[in-house]
Structure 1
């Protein structure tokens, strides 16, 4: 297949490039720094501008671009960066797809579990309503809306609502490990918020599955089938490292330090991958304890 990827230099993108290069696919990565693509993306070709591919017949586009959402507080300027890197970029991408004489057959486009907002203890599958009350949810709603426009020209669109991804290098786990190795990890707030997650290998396999299955349309929750609360997650991670969980972080401190962005840590989604399960998708790492053990052995 000929695949155009956005977000190829990110955590998931690099893993996808490695996976698809081994399968023999031909890859292009749209990037602000195309000179880095060859090194970071397993030999994929980098492009700085979409018109460089005008007239090139593509089989698929995978859209995962987006500035890191948890790197810094959501100031007005940061919100604009997050919006531009997801919503505006996806609009530009779909506009370009619509102009091609032979559009790709499929667009797999990123989204996030934050689409549902703070779901409390409500069971959430792909038929559940959007949250729409916080910036993260509004961002995901607009992001998906722009991708959905590709349907008007006959492109199959699959939306990947990704939970926090666990990987041996990078992502959430890399941020948590230094504290937990020192025995300084702990629950966030009261620890009762649900915390969906997915192993990087299963994230890659699910996106690949959606790319190749012609009947996969609409949203898919990219999360492990085992749902855990934050307190269970922190206890399991500490146990895997043979460390205590000594320092819980009170909700007020997170709100004071992070402002609106604290919703990423204090809100939760009791998320279930119902549509992936209905497809017969099989997880390699469905349980948190074994997933963490696998990743920690690779560090």
Structure 2
């Protein structure tokens, strides 16, 4: 959100990388649900059922925050920023397309399955 507030909320890299996300309430509810459904074992992906491209994510953040534009961040600029904070640009530039297949197959119901609703909820509690 800080990037968006300062007009830097444009696409990151080429913006085509997928981002898997989950609302904090769904992460907590999913954990509780798994504790009650102990017959499920192994790897469970706790992500919302609709990953989005980085361009969509940044556009929605700008829209809901009321910022009309966002300067894009090219890969070279992200590399500089990553060095400054001691992380890897791969975390931003590589697609993360993870699906909650086992949760959905077992009738888990997300509170916030759509990014638009999750962002609106989070921003309404932050203001």
Aligned to 2:109: 282
Residue pairs, 1:237-276, within 5 angstroms: 237-258=61-82, 261-276=88-103
- Shift of the 182–256 alpha-carbon distance from structure 1 to 2, 3 Å rule, reads closer
- Shift of the 253–179 alpha-carbon distance from structure 1 to 2, 3 Å rule, reads closer
- TM-score by structure 1 length? 0.40
**Aligned residues: CA RMSD:** 1.4
- TM-score by structure 2 length? 0.90
Alignment partner of 1:291 out of 115, 118, 122: 118
Instruction: State whether residues 8 and 73 of structure 2, in contact with CA within 8 Å, keep that contact through their aligned partners in structure 1.
Output: no
Instruction: State whether residues 4 and 70 of structure 2, in contact with CA within 8 Å, keep that contact through their aligned partners in structure 1.
Output: no
Larger relative contact order, structure 1 or 2 (CA cutoff 8 Å, min sep 6) = 2
The structure where strand makes up a greater share of residues is 1
Q: Aligned equivalents of 2:74 and 2:6: distance in 1?
A: 19
Report SS of the residue matched to 1:247.
Answer: coil
| Deviation digits for residues 136-167 of structure 1 (CA, Å, limit 9, x no counterpart) | xxxxxxxxxxxxxxxxxxxxxxxxxxxxxxxx
Q: Offset of 1:212 from its aligned partner?
A: 1.5
Aligned to 2:47: 223
Aligned to 1:194: 18
Q: Offset of 1:213 from its aligned partner?
A: 0.8
Q: Offset of 1:278 from its aligned partner?
A: 0.9
Residue pairs, 1:129-148, within 5 angstroms: none
Q: Offset of 1:245 from its aligned partner?
A: 3.1
Q: Offset of 1:261 from its aligned partner?
A: 0.8
Q: Offset of 1:249 from its aligned partner?
A: 0.5
**Which runs of structure 1 show a deviation greater than 3 angstroms over 4 or more consecutive aligned residues?**
none
Q: Aligned equivalents of 2:50 and 2:40: distance in 1?
A: 23
Residue pairs, 1:86-165, within 5 angstroms: none
Report SS of the residue matched to 1:294.
Answer: helix
Q: Aligned equivalents of 1:271 and 1:245: distance in 2?
A: 29
Q: Offset of 1:253 from its aligned partner?
A: 1.9
Q: Aligned equivalents of 1:180 and 1:256: distance in 2?
A: 19
Q: Offset of 1:255 from its aligned partner?
A: 2.2
Unaligned regions of 5+ residues in structure 2, if any?
none
| Deviation digits for residues 52-81 of structure 1 (CA, Å, limit 9, x no counterpart) | xxxxxxxxxxxxxxxxxxxxxxxxxxxxxx
